[in-house]
A and B are shown apart, each in its own frame.
Chain A
Amino acid sequence: MAILQRKEPHSLISFRGFGSVTGLCLFILYVPMLVLVVFSFNANRAVTVWGGFSLQWYAKAAYNGGLQNAAWNSLVVAVIATIVATAIATAAALATGRGQRFRGSQAFYMLVNLPLMLPEIIIAVGTLSFFALLGMKLSLLTIIIAHTVFCIPFAYLPIRSRLETMDARLEEAASDLYASPLDAYRHVTMPLLMPGIISGAMLAFVVSLDDFIITAMVAGAGSGTLPVYVYTQLKQGVTPEINAISTVLLAVSIVLVAASYFVAKAGSKHVRPATEQP
């Protein structure tokens, strides 16, 4: 955190104390997670008393049948929801292009972002009522449908922003150089869009993996995902095993988000022309 303390007395733009607040902010955000991670390696059964390093809770979690089932459900749901949502989002991004206005464009952008604007609890009870009305039995399928819906905006936004930073003239250049529309799409648009698609897919995956309240509402018996499992266990009391499972879940999200970030970043040097516009 050395960068937070570095003083630049001559910089007019900075304000005194803002660096300390930033430090406090990072402290607030990370200390609770750090506590969880540390205690997941605790040999002691007591959750918040340190008793030495141990991996026993991870081992115990690995052989837990209920947990394995939940993990499998999580994986199935996240993979399917991610693939479907990313495909839908890519199509939508290609259609909306670089944010041009068209008839109903405002309405469309609102619709796509609707899952982000609504409190989850409303989506949860709405989706539950919907399935009840249709007479659909709650199962993995209902979870997958619900997840696909709220994954769409998360996949859409990185793809769209990738498309926006892409030079519109690249496609023109391709067609100028005898590429048919299909060729231009295959050799220029798609390769350049790929980092955005991958990044969007990873975010969709993480969001699906992390969701609790909507999943809990539309999950049938035996179809609970990892967060639902963790919640149920938590209601029966905090155990070190829960710490271990939670740590793994945290780690998975962090690794995926970091990867998504670096994919998007590695791709971005390919997007902007090296010569900046005047």
Chain B
Amino acid sequence: MTIELKSISKIFAGGSAHPVLDDINLTINDNEFFTLLGPSGCGKTTLLRLIAGFEHPTSGTIELFGERVEGTPPNARPVNTVFQHYALFPHQTVAQNVGFGLRMLRRPAPEIEPEIERMLRLVRLEGLAHRYPHQLSGGQQQRVALARALAARPRVLLLDEPLSALDSKLRDEMRVELKLLQRNTGITFIFVTHDQGEALSMSDRIAVLSEGRIQQVGTPDDIYERPRSRFVAQFVGETNVFEGKLIRLPGKQPEFKTSSGALLPLGDTPADDDNPALAFVRPEKLRLGNPDDLASDPQARLRGVVTNKLYLGTDTVYYVDLEGGETLRARIQNASAIDNRFDVGAAVRVRAEEGAFRTVGRST
């Protein structure tokens, strides 16, 4: 076990009484790519800063490799950070930046030089050792920040939205590189982001945070397919949400009756939720069909009218107003020209895959 957080709370002095972090319990394993995902202000960066040692918890304990570190200053923790805007030392060259940690650890100079070269090779910046940060592009600065944080061989690398300042193409490339880097070095990565795409694509496990609380911890698949709260369902990926109640009739599959009266087919009985009040479905799990063609299909009981459509290239998103009044989004892949065939105003039936509708409780 790399990191163990127990009942961590953080209230900023002089701030509002509302805690920034509220009773956080979290275990992060060795060699794990762990992501803290949440909207801005959810406390994810504060949590990272607690682990780095820039802030101290109001209550609770932090264990790094079995040792309590709440009072330990950042320079005494085997943890390094890649900052959101990199925080490269502007008055030092790339090489000096990368070697900073080793110099502070008072390693002998002959040891530092080859280490700097090794790190620059690792992030493919060999030719730029004597440049200054302001002479580098955003992507290059990002690599310097990575090399600098990795040079002293930390056991845990903290990354605070490291991709947020890059343009989208570079961001996609860096996702692959970061993942590879983590696998090759075997260092535990703790990655903070508000971008669910980043979180889903890179992480071994994700913790979703909202308003200072952990909403759910799990693998990307868990988080996306089996969200346990309305927040997680809506924050991660796109979702259609319906309010209503569960109907169980003996000998029949449970159904969900929306407040407008539509009946949604549920797969299995929701196990972990005794009184679900919300049903949701991912837009890409829906299909649209001619009302007549699907009349007898038990999975296609919803009927409506297409009110808008957004052509996105790979997919088309249809907005369908259901008979009960709810609006539903369906994302249909444009695998062939035929898929893109319903016009605004067309009457359609919506077909959901078996088990596509899921439920969560109202309170969450």
Contact = CB atoms under 8 A, between A and B. Distances in A.
Please say whether the chains A and B touch (CB closer than 8 A): yes
Interface of A: 167, 169-170, 172-180, 183, 187-188, 191-192, 269-275, 277-278
Contacts of B133: 273-274
Interface string B51-79: 01110000000000000000001111001
A274 B138 contact: yes
Interface in B68-95: 73-76, 79-81, 83-91
Contact of B90 (A187, A192, A277, A278): A192
Contacts of A169: 83-85, 87
For the complex of A and B, 9 pairs with smallest distance between CB atoms = A177-B101, A169-B87, A270-B90, A178-B104, A173-B87, A175-B74, A274-B134, A179-B104, A275-B138
Given A174-B104, A177-B104, 8 more contacts: A176-B79, A177-B75, A177-B152, A180-B75, A270-B90, A273-B88, A274-B138, A277-B165
22 contacts: A167-B87, A169-B83, A169-B87, A170-B87, A173-B83, A174-B104, A175-B73, A176-B75, A176-B80, A177-B80, A178-B76, A179-B104, A180-B104, A187-B100, A187-B104, A270-B90, A270-B91, A273-B85, A274-B135, A275-B85, A275-B86, A275-B138
Given A175-B73, A179-B75, A192-B91, A270 B85 contact: no
B141 interface: yes
User: Which of A174, A175, A179, A187 gathers most chain B CB within 10 Å?
Assistant: A175
Given A176-B80, A177-B152, A183 B104 contact: yes
B164 interface: yes
B52 A176 contact: yes
Nearest to A192: B91
B148 interface: yes
User: Which of B100, B101, B148 gathers most chain A CB within 10 Å?
Assistant: B100
Contacts of B88: 173, 273
A174 B90 CA distance: 12
B141 A274 contact: yes
B165 A275 contact: yes
Given A178-B75, A179-B75, A173 B89 contact: yes
A179 B101 CA distance: 7
A276 to B, nearest CB: 8
B80 A278 contact: no
Contacts of A176: 52-54, 74-75, 79-81, 149
Contacts of A192: 90-91
B17 interface: no
B105 interface: yes
Contacts of B101: 177-178
B136 interface: yes
Decide if the interface of chain B is mainly helix, strand, loop or mixed.
Answer: mixed
A272 B53 CA distance: 24
Contacts of A173: 81, 83, 87-89
A119 B71 CA distance: 51
Nearest to B99: A177
Contacts of A191: 91
B94 to A, nearest CB: 12
Interface string B96-113: 000011001100000000
Contacts of A167: 85, 87
Contacts of B54: 172, 175-176
A278 B165 contact: yes
A273 B75 contact: no
A270 B85 CA distance: 14
Contacts of B89: 170, 173-174, 187-188
A178 B134 contact: no
A97 to B, nearest CB: 15
A187 B83 CA distance: 19
A275 B76 CA distance: 29
B105 A178 contact: yes
B134 to A, nearest CB: 4
Nearest to B101: A177
Contacts of A178: 75-76, 101, 104-105, 152
A277 B81 contact: no
B91 A273 contact: no
Contacts of A188: 89
A253 B343 CA distance: 76
Contact of A271 (B86, B90, B135, B164): B90
User: Which of B54, B152, B164 gathers most chain A CB within 10 Å?
Assistant: B54
User: Which of B74, B83, B85, B90 gathers most chain A CB within 10 Å?
Assistant: B90
Contacts of A174: 89, 100, 104
User: Which of A167, A177, A179 gathers most chain B CB within 10 Å?
Assistant: A177
A176 B54 CA distance: 8
A208 B91 CA distance: 31
A275 B136 CA distance: 9
A191 B96 CA distance: 14
Contact of A273 (B74, B90, B164): B90
A278 B164 contact: yes
A188 B136 CA distance: 20
A249 B271 CA distance: 88
A174 B92 CA distance: 12
A177 B148 contact: yes
Contacts of B87: 167, 169-170, 172-173, 273
A170 B54 CA distance: 12
